[in-house]
Structure 1
């Protein structure tokens, strides 16, 4: 599927109820962690960190932090024991992040809002964006990359899908059933999550819509590279984009940019 449709997701709308958005983000975090969605990109990320001489990751648009602790744990187990991650978002979720930080030494978070298109110079680290880059139309997506280029901060963009019609079918069938089965086991516990899943099922319904639109809004690798080249007109970064496949089938789409060594 090479087309990209700039549709809307409910979670992006400013009037959308926070309680429903939080429930959707909790589900996304739980499933990404349970399935190890981003484990296939750990070798690519570790290689990029080595090239950038970095061990600190700055996660932008972190949402509820889905998959973050698994990535941090795997990085530390495979040759980068000093790896650290700081979670940030324009709409911070400290309640969800605090739970992750308590379980994972080396994981911290920023309570103040962070704009991914204009990151403060006080927030250092190799930047990552998981499951969120598709939310941004091309001008803003390019601005995220351009800000990293301007500050000479390496960046990795990762989407937990390969942009296939089969993934849309899964979003309509298997994943809603999984949501109904696993919601009672999600932490931190929220009565509102149970209420809006089982009694008034707004969380599952909006999750189906947003999950479908997320796939349709995703940038395929060729478009990611095109955005990167526009964001880096002087060719100061090394860029690579593509897909990697999980051992059980699903793909992860990625774009990675590392600053080239400056000549003295």
Structure 2
């Protein structure tokens, strides 16, 4: 699918109720973690970390941290990667969700409580930058600015989207995934009465998730557009860029862009 539509997602809207946004993020974290969506990119990220000599990862737009937990655990199990540490950041921080991940990670995950703008990352947040499942939220000018900021600060960066941008993924968002969400909500941690209320009694969480999931796929940048953004952000070609897709065990794909200083 080559088409890209810059539609709105509910979770991006400043007035959107934070309790519903948190419930949607909890669902994404639960599904991404339990399905191991980003496990196929671990070798790619390891290579990029080794190329930059980094053990510190700064995740931008972390949401509830869905892309991080499994990836960090898998990295720390690899030889030479035992000291890998992830700092979660977001423009809308979610420390309640991040505290759980930090405890479970046994020191592998921390977080920044202050809001962090991915377009202008504070200088004290050093490390290899990652964005999981969130790059499509940014219009082309902002998406390019994120890469340009990494180039300017000589920070490696990895962009990962848990889909391959196919029409059948939209069909899944309309059919199977809502059923899984209704089943999975009962088992999500930390426990929230608000999540149960806005899932089963007033189903704003599943309805908004269906819309945002559909729009996410339509807004995703395919590999050729990711590479074009990178080249505009790095006119002097001072970074090494890699782009492509890798398969998940379920048959779905992960789209990625990796860049680090030459």
In the alignment, which residue of structure 2 is the partner of 1:91? 92
Residue correspondence of structure 1 range 147-162 to structure 2 within 5 A: 147-162=149-164
State the shift of 1:12 in Å.
0.6
Specify every segment of 5 or more residues in structure 2 that has no aligned partner in the other structure, as ranges. Answer: none
1:146-191: CA deviation from partner (whole Å, max 9, x where unpaired):
0000000000000000000000000000000000001010011000
In the alignment, which residue of structure 1 is the partner of 2:176? 174
In the alignment, which residue of structure 1 is the partner of 2:104? 103
Alpha-carbon separation, structure 1, partners of 2:36 and 2:144: 28
In the alignment, which residue of structure 2 is the partner of 1:140? 142
In the alignment, which residue of structure 2 is the partner of 1:210? 212
1:173-213: CA deviation from partner (whole Å, max 9, x where unpaired):
00000000010100110001001100111110000000000
State the shift of 1:247 in Å.
2.2
Alpha-carbon separation, structure 2, partners of 1:60 and 1:247: 26
State the shift of 1:106 in Å.
1.9
User: Is structure 2 residue 46 aligned with structure 1 residue 46?
Assistant: yes
Alpha-carbon separation, structure 2, partners of 1:246 and 1:5: 25
In the alignment, which residue of structure 1 is the partner of 2:66? 66
Query: Match of 2:258, SS?
Result: strand
4+ residue runs of structure 1 moved beyond 3 angstroms? Answer: none
State the shift of 1:143 in Å.
0.4
Residue correspondence of structure 1 range 1-264 to structure 2 within 5 A: 1-79=1-79, 80-104=81-105, 105-260=107-262
Specify every segment of 5 or more residues in structure 1 that has no aligned partner in the other structure, as ranges. Answer: none
Query: Match of 2:93, SS?
Result: coil
Please give the TM-score of this superposition, normalised by the length of structure 2.
Answer: 0.98
- Which segment is superposed worse, 240-249 or 127-136? 240-249
Query: Match of 1:197, SS?
Result: helix
